[in-house]
């Protein structure tokens, strides 16, 4: 790995960073917040006292990295290789021309018209999820909302990608496997020195076998759809029928498997955590839940949510924006500088790891008053317009901005509306829930809540 020495940004001495390396593994945000308070919006330190990283919470700096000179910044070698080991080379971990042609190709599956066509699949997946949720609620006085949100989003994302005929049990097994493998991937990313041990001890092979078992179901599903084509509007149908521009041919089963798997990984954990934090904040601030309920009554009345009326729920959307400000699922976005560069007067030598630290960006006091306070009114149309657009980027920014952002918003709105309309809820006990920053910002432990039917 390349290790650049950064010259002119304030820095944490190597010795201090080394002393913090244990905390860095268990809760990197607590360490980064300490450095941010000490050094300001842009600083450098050595990860574990070893690999130099340049961290920024300044919107203009981040815009430079993710948008203005994005071609100079690639995803880190560790990320690309760790993802490839289990999920192959797909959109998430490719670069340059290869990435661009995949991106253009897959983008078709996320257009507004396709989202509208996918609504019946999403509505059916939602109604199935609501049935299961109600069963769970009847059986248990207190339920783990985080776990429930994983089931909801797995069904909605999974079925939007693979279709309604994907069997429930198979989807659950795939989801569970993804979650176990994700945890293993995080261990490899934060403790790269243990990778040889993981290989020798057979752990890597064990996880590979698990992945192969999950792949098997998706492969069979693809093969069956090829044999018996359906009139479906899911993404799989697009991948099976639309020729890839570079070759003029449709993708083969292996490529389809990789792209579907990567989209499932990228789409499930992000949305489920964003939703879990939304329920948490609504419990801590019940007045916001009441405002959402009133908005639903006013906009939807007795109507079922559809693509059009969902987008009229402006206050509900403000609540999501504020939740993802405080708890951005991707709490940081890292890149490696491929050549020397400079941003806001800071020299960035080739090989430097550059971290757009979204958790800190969303708390930068130059852009946010009382940043720890939950206040959805920060996201009224007027206030949004007046703010630097890179001050709030839960979906990332520049050409690699999240491809699934509109799908995520529609699905999160569908789930939130259904649950807020039918239930009241409270946190048990009503106490702060700590964060657990893995690759995605999760709650530390279960998020226990009680639900009553309205
Ligand atoms: C609340 C939900 C979501 C959040 C907060 C989120 C956030 C992000 C962020 C920050 C990135 C940029 C990462 C980077 O630049 O390194 C990203 C990329 C991506 N997201 Fe999402 N995402 C969400 C939901 C989804 C969904 C539902 C899907 C698909 C079904 C999806 C698929 C992807 C893919 C494929 C990329 C990589 C795009 C590329 O490299 O061109 N995401 N997401």
In this structure, is residue 171 part of a structural domain? yes
Distance, CA 405 to ligand 1 centroid (Å)? 7
In this structure, is residue 139 part of a structural domain? yes
Eight-state DSSP code of residue 372: T
Task: Name which of 157, 164, 364, 165 is nearest 274 in CA terms.
Answer: 157
Token reading at 245: 């521009």
Ligand 1 atom showing the smallest separation from residue 335 Cα: 16
b (16+ CB within 10 A) / e for 387-407: eeebbbbbbbbbebebbbebb
Report whether residue 271 contacts ligand 1, using a CB cutoff of 6 Å: yes
In this structure, is residue 9 part of a structural domain? no
Eight-state DSSP code of residue 284: H
Give CA–CA dist 244/250, Å, rounded: 5
In this structure, is residue 448 part of a structural domain? yes
Give CA–CA dist 227/146, Å, rounded: 37
51: three-class secondary structure by DSSP: strand
| Domain region containing 369 | 14-453
Output the DSSP codes for 287-333.
HHHHHHHHHHHHHHTTSPP-HHHHTT-HHHHHHHHHHHHHS-SS--E
Give CA–CA dist 149/442, Å, rounded: 12
Output the DSSP codes for 52-114.
EEEEE--HHHHHIIIIITGGGEE--HHHHHHHHHHH-SSGGG--HHHHHHHHHHHHGGGSHHH
Report whether residue 270 contacts ligand 1, using a CB cutoff of 6 Å: yes
In this structure, is residue 1 part of a structural domain? no
Distance, CA 267 to ligand 1 centroid (Å)? 7
In this structure, is residue 402 part of a structural domain? yes
In this structure, is residue 164 part of a structural domain? yes
Report whether residue 115 contacts ligand 1, using a CB cutoff of 6 Å: no
CATH of the domain at 243: 1.10.630.10
Distance, CA 333 to ligand 1 centroid (Å)? 11
pTM across the whole model: 0.94
In this structure, is residue 244 part of a structural domain? yes
Domains held by the chain: number: 1
Q: What is the pLDDT along the chain (454 residues), one digit of tens a residue?
A: 334 456 789 999 888 888 888 888 788 899 999 999 999 999 998 876 677 899 999 999 999 999 999 999 998 877 787 778 777 888 988 999 989 999 999 999 999 999 999 999 999 999 999 999 999 999 999 999 999 999 999 999 999 998 887 888 888 888 888 888 878 887 777 677 788 888 899 988 888 888 888 888 888 888 888 888 777 778 998 888 888 877 788 888 888 999 998 898 889 899 999 999 999 999 999 999 999 999 999 999 989 999 999 999 999 999 999 999 999 999 999 999 999 999 999 999 999 999 999 999 999 999 999 999 999 999 999 999 999 999 999 999 999 999 999 999 999 999 999 999 999 999 999 999 999 998 899 999 999 999 999 9
Q: Whose CA is nearest to atom 12 of ligand 1?
A: 396
Cis peptide before 429 (omega within 30 of 0): yes
Q: Are 237 and 230 in contact (CB under 8 A)?
A: yes
347 has which bridge partners? 342
Q: Are 342 and 72 in contact (CB under 8 A)?
A: no
């Amino acid at each position: 790995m390349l290790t650049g020495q950064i010259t002119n940004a304030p820095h944490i001495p190597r010795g201090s960073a080394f002393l913090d390396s244990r905390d860095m593994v268990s809760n990197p945000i607590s360490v980064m917040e300490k450095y941010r308070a000490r050094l300001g919006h842009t600083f450098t330190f050595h990860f574990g006292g070893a690999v130099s990283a340049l961290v920024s919470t300044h919107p203009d700096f981040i815009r430079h990295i993710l948008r203005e000179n994005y071609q100079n910044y690639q995803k880190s070698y560790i990320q690309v290789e760790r993802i490839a080991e289990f999920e192959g080379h797909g959109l998430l971990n490719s670069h340059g021309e290869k990435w661009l042609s995949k991106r253009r190709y897959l983008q078709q599956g996320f257009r507004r018209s396709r989202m509208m066509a996918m609504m019946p699949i999403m509505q059916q997946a939602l109604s199935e999820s609501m049935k299961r949720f109600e069963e769970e609620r009847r059986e248990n006085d207190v339920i783990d909302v985080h776990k429930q949100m994983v089931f909801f989003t797995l069904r909605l994302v999974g079925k939007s990608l693979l279709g309604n005929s994907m069997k429930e049990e198979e989807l659950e097994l795939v989801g569970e496997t993804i979650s176990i493998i994700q945890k293993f991937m995080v261990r490899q990313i934060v403790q790269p020195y243990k990778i040889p041990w993981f290989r020798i001890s057979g752990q890597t092979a064990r996880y590979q076998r698990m992945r192969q078992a999950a792949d098997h179901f998706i492969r069979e599903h693809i093969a069956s759809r090829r044999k018996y084509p359906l009139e479906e509007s899911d993404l799989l149908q697009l991948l099976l029928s639309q020729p890839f521009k570079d070759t003029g041919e449709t993708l083969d089963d292996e490529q389809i498997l990789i792209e579907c798997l990567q989209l499932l990984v990228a789409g499930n954990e992000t949305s489920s955590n964003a939703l879990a934090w939304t329920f948490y904040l609504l419990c801590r601030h019940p007045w916001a839940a009441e405002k959402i309920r009133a908005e639903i009554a006013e906009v939807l009345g007795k109507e079922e949510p559809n693509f059009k009326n969902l987008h009229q729920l402006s206050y509900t959307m403000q609540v999501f924006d504020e939740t993802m400000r405080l708890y951005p699922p991707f709490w940081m976005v890292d890149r490696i500088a491929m050549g020397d560069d400079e941003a806001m007067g800071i020299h960035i030598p080739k090989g430097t790891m550059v971290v757009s630290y979204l958790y800190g960006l969303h708390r930068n006091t130059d852009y946010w008053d009382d940043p720890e306070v939950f206040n959805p009114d920060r996201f009224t149309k007027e206030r949004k317009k007046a703010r630097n657009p890179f001050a709030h980027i839960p979906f990332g920014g520049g050409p690699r901005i999240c491809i699934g952002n509109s799908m995520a918003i529609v699905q999160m709105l569908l789930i939130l509306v259904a649950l807020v309309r039918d239930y009241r809820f409270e946190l048990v006990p009503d106490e702060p829930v700590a964060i657990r920053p893995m690759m995605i910002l999760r709650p530390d432990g279960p998020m226990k809540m009680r639900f009553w039917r309205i």
